[in-house]
Amino acid sequence: MGEAPACLVDDLQNGFSNGFGSKSKHLESSVVIGDKEYIIGRTDNESTLSIGVKIFVRSKGQWVTPIVLGAKPKLSKDHSAVLVKEDRILVIKKGSTSDDCIWFLEIDTGYVREQKKILGTEVVAWSKGVRGNAEKPVVISGPSGVGKGTLIAMLMKEFPTMFGFSVSHTTRAPRGMEKDGIHYHFTERSVMEAEIKDGKFLEFASVHGNLYGTSIEAVEVVADSGKRCILDIDVQGARSVRASSLEAVFIFVCPPSMNELEKRLRARGTETEEQILKRLRNAEAEIEQGKSSGIFDHILYNDNLEDCYENLKKILGLDRNMPVDDSSPKGIDLPEEHSVSKLDNKILINCGTSELGKASKNLIVLDVSSPSGGAPGRTRGLKVYSVDSFSDGLNGIDSLS
């Protein structure tokens, strides 16, 4: 399987029949990988106005409509598509905003392979590319009443622009102050089960008799806002995430004692006696697994709240003496007119006007050798270089800043 540069197909001109229907002014691109040809272009559903994907299986002469996961890029009038490492296609939109121009169509990444197995059908996933470091999401687990919510609230209050909470789905009833869409997406069991079947969940588990789960979208909403995602999920959920393609920091919060845990649960006053007893019964097994399963990178003891909070911040590199890292993901500014080429693991975006005999004056280089993953199917951490003067061929790339 070799590199397959995108070829742009204007189906108005050549009447190409590709399963998208007929009339469109949007250009499509086609990338061939082995037996499959991926046609990336106009949406097949006019109401979504997002870029559509179809697969042509050459040996069978058949069109396949894959399940498309991840937030989809909005339609643009033109784009380039380049195969990267045979597991994903880089799509560069023209005339889009800096935070919306670089996308990856994942066709054979770990996450997509996982989903193909679960769903038993052809799957692709969109992920957005941004420049800068992608902080790993933070998974926080621990028995009910240990103080997870309290610690997360403290973190979000002190660092409102840095962290975003992954809003889980649950079939349990809302507590007095809880709001739908903020604390949880409160959902009917049948609806949630159907969505799980459709591959919309990163993980789910039955906890204290109710269904809880993290939708892919919940994590993506946070990642798209450029924030570091915090997940408050139980040990089973943490185990699933650990086994998935989502790279995260896993923290388990322990109570100082079972008596203290019981006191906190009762003092919170949000559960019936029966529910409190169920949560306490489950707590022992959770603590046992949390400490011994090897899932968690860090164990925190929440005895004194302030001390525990300081330790949490240390784990996340946020202690008072440390400079705040300002390398959060940023967009990439591209002019509407540019051309794209590939050299090894570098994508060269030529933004200058090309005069005959002169090399480009303005080149943006995307290093796609090791895009780091944040959310599922989400690609972050692209290294981006820009070159103002580029007259000596490609020798200059390594010394770019």
| Cβ(239)–Cβ(249) below 8 Å | no
Those residues whose C-beta lies under 8 Å from the C-beta of residue 88, and which sit 6 or more positions away, are 104, 105, 106, 107, 108, 109, 127, 379
| Cβ(344)–Cβ(365) below 8 Å | no
Report what 267 binds from ligand ADP, ligand 5GP, none; CB cut-off 5-8 Å by kind: ligand ADP
Report what 147 binds from ligand 5GP, ligand ADP, none; CB cut-off 5-8 Å by kind: ligand ADP
| Cβ(3)–Cβ(10) below 8 Å | no
Does residue 148 touch ligand ADP according to CB under 6 A? yes
Does residue 396 touch ligand ADP according to CB under 6 A? no
The stretch near ligand ADP (CB under 6 A) out of 11-19, 87-95, 198-206, 260-268 is 260-268
Does residue 168 touch ligand 5GP according to CB under 6 A? yes
Is 88 designated active site?
no
Indicate the DSSP class of residue 395. G
Helix (H, G, I), strand (E, B) or coil at 35: coil
Residues 150-179, mask of contacts with ligand ADP (x by CB under 6 A): x-----------------------------
Does residue 146 touch ligand ADP according to CB under 6 A? yes
30 or 214, CB closer to ligand 5GP? Answer: 214
Report what 18 binds from ligand 5GP, ligand ADP, none; CB cut-off 5-8 Å by kind: none
DSSP for 339-380, please give it. Answer: EEEEETTEEEEE-S---TT---S-EEEEE-SSPEE-STT-EE
**Looking at 279, 281, 320, 378, which residue is catalytic?**
279
92 or 211, CB closer to ligand 5GP? Answer: 211
Cα angle: 124, vertex 329, 400; to 5 degrees:
100
Does residue 142 touch ligand ADP according to CB under 6 A? yes
Report what 168 binds from ligand ADP, ligand 5GP, none; CB cut-off 5-8 Å by kind: ligand 5GP
Binds ligand 5GP (CB under 6 A): choice among 236, 302, 350, 379: 236
CB of 288 to ligand 5GP, least distance (A): 15
Instruction: Burial-class residue 135 by CB neighbours within 10 Å (0-12, 13-18, 19+).
Output: buried
Indicate the DSSP class of residue 230. E
129 or 143, CB closer to ligand ADP? Answer: 143
Is 131 designated active site?
no
Question: Helix H segments across 159-209?
Answer: 189-197
Cα angle: 287, vertex 311, 256; to 5 degrees:
35
Report what 129 binds from ligand ADP, ligand 5GP, none; CB cut-off 5-8 Å by kind: none
Indicate the DSSP class of residue 330. B
Binds ligand ADP (CB under 6 A): choice among 36, 74, 85, 268: 268
Those residues whose C-beta lies under 8 Å from the C-beta of residue 4, and which sit 6 or more positions away, are 31, 32, 33, 83
Indicate the DSSP class of residue 137. P
Report what 212 binds from ligand 5GP, ligand ADP, none; CB cut-off 5-8 Å by kind: ligand 5GP
d(CA 40, CA 11): 12
What residue is closest to ligand 5GP based on CB?
Answer: 237
Report what 302 binds from ligand ADP, ligand 5GP, none; CB cut-off 5-8 Å by kind: ligand ADP
Q: Residue 62 to residues 51, 87, 317: CA-CA distances in angstroms?
A: 21, 21, 52
Entry field: residues in the chain? 401
Helix (H, G, I), strand (E, B) or coil at 278: helix
The stretch near ligand ADP (CB under 6 A) out of 114-122, 241-249, 264-272, 314-322 is 264-272
Q: Residue 220 to residues 72, 112, 209, 346: CA-CA distances in angstroms?
A: 11, 16, 27, 26
| Cβ(20)–Cβ(52) below 8 Å | yes
**Looking at 113, 264, 266, 268, which residue is catalytic?**
268
Is 268 designated active site?
yes
Does residue 237 touch ligand ADP according to CB under 6 A? no
The stretch near ligand 5GP (CB under 6 A) out of 6-14, 203-211, 257-265, 383-391 is 203-211
Active site residues: 175, 268, 279
Binding region for ligand ADP (CB under 6 A): 142, 144-150, 264, 267-268, 302, 305, 308
